[in-house]
Structure 1
Amino acid sequence: MRLPTERPAECPFDPPAGLAGLPAMSRLEFADGHLGWLATTAEAARAVLGDPRFSARQELKHAAVHAVPAGGPGRAAPPGFFAATDPPEHTRYRRLLTGQFTLRRMRLLEARIERIAADHLDAMAAAGPPADLVTAYALPIPSLVICELLGVPYADHGLFQELSARLVTFGDGGAGALAELIAYLRDLVRGKRAKPDDDLLSGLTGELSDEELANLGVILLVAGHETTANMLALGVFALLERGCAYEEGAVEELLRWLSILHLGAPSRAALEDVEVAGVTVRAGETVALSLPVINRDPAVYADPDRLLPGRPEARRHLAFGHGVHQCLGQQLARIELRIGYRALFERFPGLRLAVPATEVPVKHDAAVYGVRSLPVTW
């Protein structure tokens, strides 16, 4: 089988058509013709992501869909792109960053995130309805937070947001966007080495080279705003379209139900023959994961296709991955989402879509699923 490259427009919240009900492991033809595997159950996904016999190294993996590997196709990731490496290289970078993203440190940011959310809600209220929730609220909140954390000037947000969007969009513009973003961060890192400040990048100038810091900064900057911004807007769309009231605890269910990393991500390459869910994955074969299907596994979730904001087992989702590569910034994302949703629905209890749901433009051509705009009124 081949992996579908888009979701049907008439059901923007459902997994790609044709994947539900597949065996735990199915043969999959990758974009470059490689014959690998697709995992579609939680048990198989945990087995692959938690087993050191499966590698995250990009030079060993094949892309299920068009991708922009740092450094070029078939090459090892350049220094600093730790998400595409294995221990011990991955461990060295991870240890330097783990202390910056502890739950205690992230909770210290709560008051600042609440202030950022309130300021943008004030601006929405002053301008009056309708508003595009993406540009007015969902995108600025995580962008401001990650800029302050890393030490990236928010005045440059238009540049890095445009480059990030190009980077995660399928097509020929990703490689150029990545090069531009690396160049931007390399200049920024050089400035911090000459004049350090109280931020994450400055704090690592004594540990890492300019190249490592710039490449690491790309991962943190893009992941720090692109995924959370899409989750904020798409989550609001889902709640409004489904007529669900927001309640505390809804974040985990939205993460499960939406699963915005949906096109074969993440993936791993077998370093040796490994048995998974009754099939043998041969050394050199790549296993891609369908998170939207995995996070609706009926063996884990009762009535998995329903959005139930109070679902007790929702936190068992794999939206942040599993194993040593589990998302470093997941606690920050949870806090931003919890504050972002709560503040919005408390401020505008009558919030509703300003256009029919079928007219909301969704992203069918990007590695991170979301909406291009979300017209709302109140």
Structure 2
Amino acid sequence: MSEITAESVPEFPILRTCPFSVPETYRELEGTGGRIHRVRMSDGRPAWLVTKHDDARAVLSDARFSSEKLRPGFPELSPGGLKALTYFSPFLVNMDGPEHAQARRAVLGEFSVRRINAMRPRIRRIVDAAIDRMLEQPGRPVDLAAHLSQPVPTLVLSAFLGVPAEDLDAIERNTGKMLHEARTEDEQRAAAEALHAHLDLVIAAKEENPGDDFLSRQIDRSRREHGDAADRFELASLVQLLQIAGHASSAAMISLSVLTLLSEPEQLKQLTADPSRTPAAAEELLRFLSITDTGPLRLALEDVEIGGVRIRAGDGVLIPTLPANRDAGAFPDPDRFDIGRLPGTRHVAFGYGAHQCLGQNLVRAELQVVLDRLFHRIPDLRLATAPEALPYKYFGQFFGPVELPVTW
């Protein structure tokens, strides 16, 4: 094992190459004995890296660490990356304190367990239709990523938002151009303007034809708060946020979850023998996979001691979820996938504290329905390619297989 020295401070993010393993750099940092570590951002600035589960929860629940990304000194994953935020409303993602709490309350009821549970029959129909299309394919292997993992989150989000799936696909493409393809500020601005123009059309169409859906109710809320005219800028930012958070992450999570279970036949056997274990299996998959290598970022607003380290006001703090969810101090034998692990919900896959993922109940429901229906309807499903031979990539910030060939 190589040694971490002051001259070889790791650059963040620390990326994985295997879907099941924690990058070796984290183990090397753990071997130094500290709980909080210095790393280097892509622009050369230093930041603090939090890898322990308890420390992660402490930072994420402490109002002395800001989530307001446009504050001077906020850690930036890529040069110019935060500039994109200036083209959107600060609603939710660029807020702290009472302002954030008020904005969150305005939409929190939409993601309640009761409302999401009411969607489960529709999610089941969407998943069953996707499985039908898999079964109808003329040859095998079939790419599960293309036929299940990619379309299901789009269609579920479409049903939830009340926005046509083709519009969500276009929003995702335009967001990708703005965040990942634009090479200059002018290109980024042009991509943002095109994205806003499309979102404006989506909202206008919903104003003309409201329904029993998230966007219609948010338009009504916005009209009550702002007078007769809804705040389309805020609404556009909210739809775009949910598309970013709700598609690529769920698609990667579905693919990696199926891959994990097909690679763990004893665990899969336990699950199929007792489908009531599906919620626990989903929680363990969320912990074990932790599909992003960035996780929440924070800025210290004042001096704070975490994990025996004095973090100064103005310091950037990084909380990747993967090492926190593989912390032996919180999860015995953390690198073992075990659907019987209790309590399963202590993981930080959705973050923690005031800014934890709004849509976590929707993600859970979607994943649970996929696991339940897929292995019930295709009980002899198996991998057509070894996990180590599959191509992987980052879909934005989310790691997953490019394709997932399966057969039965």
**Residues 159-198 of structure 1 deviation map (CA, whole Å, 9 limit, x = unaligned):** 2343455667588499466554333212211232344333
Give runs of aligned pairs for residues 118-137 of structure 1, distance below 5 A. Answer: 118-128=128-138, 129-137=140-148
* Structure-2 separation of matches of 1:70 and 1:184: 20
Superposition deviation, residue 294 in structure 1: 0.5
Q: Which of 320, 327, 331 pairs up with 1:297?
A: 327
| Bigger Cα displacement from structure 2, 203-212 vs 320-329 | 203-212
**Residues 188-238 of structure 1 deviation map (CA, whole Å, 9 limit, x = unaligned):** 112323443332112122433110000011111221222111100111112
Q: Which of 31, 42, 52 pairs up with 1:31?
A: 42
Q: Contact (CA 8 Å) 1:55, 1:269: kept in 2 or not? A: yes
Superposition deviation, residue 342 in structure 1: 1.5
Say how many residue pairs are matched. 373
Q: Contact (CA 8 Å) 2:350, 2:357: kept in 1 or not? A: yes
Structure 1's consecutive aligned runs of 4 or more residues displaced over 6 angstroms after TM superposition are none
Q: Contact (CA 8 Å) 1:167, 1:177: kept in 2 or not? A: yes
Q: Contact (CA 8 Å) 1:147, 1:221: kept in 2 or not? A: no
Structure 2 equivalent of residue 3 of structure 1: 11
Q: Contact (CA 8 Å) 1:301, 1:313: kept in 2 or not? A: no
Counting aligned pairs with the same residue, the percent is 36
* Structure-2 separation of matches of 1:328 and 1:322: 11
Structure 1 equivalent of residue 407 of structure 2: 377
| Counterpart residue type for residue 293 of structure 2 | H
Q: Which of 370, 383, 402 pairs up with 1:340?
A: 370
The reply to whether residue 19 of structure 1 matches residue 32 of structure 2 is no
* Structure-2 separation of matches of 1:117 and 1:212: 31
Distance 1:318 1:122, change over 3 A: same
Distance 1:287 1:298, change over 3 A: same
The reply to whether residue 69 of structure 1 matches residue 100 of structure 2 is no
Q: Contact (CA 8 Å) 1:120, 1:137: kept in 2 or not? A: yes
* Structure-2 separation of matches of 1:125 and 1:70: 45
* Structure-2 separation of matches of 1:136 and 1:17: 33
Q: Contact (CA 8 Å) 1:149, 1:200: kept in 2 or not? A: yes
Q: Contact (CA 8 Å) 1:80, 1:216: kept in 2 or not? A: no
Q: Which of 195, 202, 214 pairs up with 1:181?
A: 195
Question: Aligned with 2:400: secondary structure?
Answer: coil
| Counterpart residue type for residue 323 of structure 2 | V
Q: Contact (CA 8 Å) 1:133, 1:375: kept in 2 or not? A: yes
**Residues 286-323 of structure 1 deviation map (CA, whole Å, 9 limit, x = unaligned):** 10012111100000111101111221133210000100
Give runs of aligned pairs for residues 219-258 of structure 1, distance below 5 A. Answer: 219-246=241-268, 247=271, 248=278, 249-258=280-289
* Structure-2 separation of matches of 1:283 and 1:15: 30
Question: Aligned with 1:51: secondary structure?
Answer: coil
Structure 2 equivalent of residue 86 of structure 1: 96
* Structure-2 separation of matches of 1:6 and 1:24: 17
* Structure-2 separation of matches of 1:170 and 1:342: 37
Superposition deviation, residue 89 in structure 1: 2.2
The reply to whether residue 106 of structure 1 matches residue 106 of structure 2 is no
Give runs of aligned pairs for residues 205-224 of structure 1, distance below 5 A. Answer: 205-208=219-222, 209-224=231-246
| Bigger Cα displacement from structure 2, 30-39 vs 80-89 | 80-89
**Residues 320-368 of structure 1 deviation map (CA, whole Å, 9 limit, x = unaligned):** 0100111111111111101101111111111111122222111147411
Larger Rg: 2
* Structure-1 separation of matches of 2:10 and 2:263: 30
| Counterpart residue type for residue 113 of structure 1 | I
Give runs of aligned pairs for residues 138-177 of structure 1, distance below 5 A. Answer: 138-163=149-174, 172=183, 175=188
Distance 1:212 1:8, change over 3 A: closer
| Bigger Cα displacement from structure 2, 56-65 vs 215-224 | 56-65
Q: CA RMSD, aligned part only?
A: 2.4
Q: Which of 318, 322, 325 pairs up with 1:288?
A: 318
| Bigger Cα displacement from structure 2, 340-349 vs 102-111 | 340-349
* Structure-2 separation of matches of 1:33 and 1:179: 31
| Bigger Cα displacement from structure 2, 110-119 vs 151-160 | 151-160
| Counterpart residue type for residue 313 of structure 1 | P
Question: Aligned with 2:305: secondary structure?
Answer: strand
Question: Aligned with 2:330: secondary structure?
Answer: coil
Superposition deviation, residue 96 in structure 1: 1.1
Distance 1:109 1:88, change over 3 A: same
* Structure-2 separation of matches of 1:17 and 1:63: 23
| Counterpart residue type for residue 2 of structure 1 | P
Distance 1:361 1:315, change over 3 A: same
Question: Aligned with 2:70: secondary structure?
Answer: coil
